[in-house]
Amino acid sequence: MIKKLLSKIDYGIIISVVVLFAIGIVGLYSASRGAGGDESEFSKQLIWFGVGLVCFVLTMSFSCRKIKDVTIIAYVVFIALLVGVLFTNRNNGATSWYKIGMFSFQPAEFFKIIAILFLAKLISDFSDKDSLNKITSILILLLVLAIPVGLIIKQPDYGTAIVIVFVFCMMLYVAGINYKYIIAGALIAVISLPIIYNVFLPEHAKSRINVFLNPEADPKGAGYNIIQSKLAVGSGMVSGMGVMNGNQTQLGMLPMKTTDFIYSVISEEMGFIISSLIIVLYIFMLYRILKASNNTKDMFGKMVCIGVFAMLLAHVVENIGMTIGLMPITGIPLPFISYGGSSMITNFIAIGLVENILIWSKNYGL
């Protein structure tokens, strides 16, 4: 029985994860030992990788039906956690973490998984496109989205909020939402964006957008991060400057080099070949997740796979895009590469859900 279940695992996804982590841990080792680095992050990342593997195995072990049944409870619990985190002490200007000894817990990061599962359940419960496209169904889905996104923006964590909204839109599109809602949503977005920018966005958020459009306008201030990142990426050329030899990395000129800009570290020290390999691995992983979605007949499983696909795609495009100046800086981590326990565990759970769908869906007729 176990042998039969294991035969359904997509080992291509697992191999991609391991190779990405291997590249990332080398980059993290180098970055953590350069000027301004924290050497403890290397050992902590290894621990988080081990914890992530355990979560991955556990996620695969429970049947789809059991996971689907507890999504409502999980949604309510994490809404409570998102409310509670607003009353914690600020860290880097945000109330996004619960401190537990030497470790921290970021509920918004884990909520991305809860959002995928809960939306997948709701969409599958609507049973067909006609039910999904009723105005009451759309309003329910919007309410389910609006509550957590509002709480996450309040922290503030705009990057995670954007990812959740993107996941929501992608899942509804694949589920077969009527084009009239898509057009209406697009029009509302176009009309509301200038209002949001001028009225609701705080100055630091406006500054990031302005820097994205013209980083050279303030090269020693708001534009410093992206300029240093682009210098690091360009300096690597084809084969890189060598691990522990990157100028921007080792001299402490590259900010947030183990988290937001870890791709810049890898590009500088390992060069275009390895940085391109990372992109190829992500594309391969995303392709395999889409294939898993297409091979899953039940709507819940399909929507979970699409949600995981959308979440990882958003992270990869935003993180790599911001390091080379194609996207605004939002603090979105690079999956399986950036330092961080919440991110590592969340991504392992996400991949575990995809493998879970491949293993269990046919056995339980979901």
Q: What is the pLDDT of residues 73-102, one digit of tens each?
A: 999 999 999 999 898 887 767 778 788 766
User: How many Cβ atoms from other residues are within 10 Å of residue 350's Cβ?
Assistant: 23
The listed range with the strongest mean pLDDT (64-73, 108-117, 217-226, 356-365) is 108-117
CA 287 to chain centre: 17
- pLDDT above 70 covers a percentage of the chain that reads 92
pLDDT at 181 over 50: yes
Mean pLDDT calculated for residue range 194-202: 74
More confident position, 5 or 335: 335
pTM: 0.92
Q: How confident is the model at residue 219 (pLDDT cuts 50, 70, 90)?
A: confident
Q: How confident is the model at residue 117 (pLDDT cuts 50, 70, 90)?
A: very high
Q: How confident is the model at residue 131 (pLDDT cuts 50, 70, 90)?
A: confident
Report pLDDT for 278: 97
Per residue in 254-269, pLDDT (tens digit) is 888 999 999 999 999 9
pLDDT at 176 over 70: yes
Cβ–Cβ < 8 Å for 257, 249? yes
Report pLDDT for 165: 93
Per residue in 272-300, pLDDT (tens digit) is 999 999 999 999 999 999 999 988 888 89
Report pLDDT for 15: 95
Which two tokens mark 349? 């759970």
Per residue in 42-60, pLDDT (tens digit) is 999 999 999 999 999 999 8
Mean pLDDT calculated for residue range 221-234: 85
Report pLDDT for 69: 86
User: How many Cβ atoms from other residues are within 10 Å of residue 57's Cβ?
Assistant: 12
Report pLDDT for 343: 93
Cβ–Cβ < 8 Å for 205, 197? no
- Going by their DSSP bridges, the two strands 98-100 and 103-105 should be labelled as antiparallel
pLDDT at 198 over 90: no
Residue among 262, 293, 302, 338 at smallest CA distance from 52: 338
Report pLDDT for 289: 96
Q: Which residues contact 224 (CB under 8 A, 6 or more apart)?
A: 218, 255
Report pLDDT for 132: 84
What is the chain's mean pLDDT, rounded?
Answer: 87
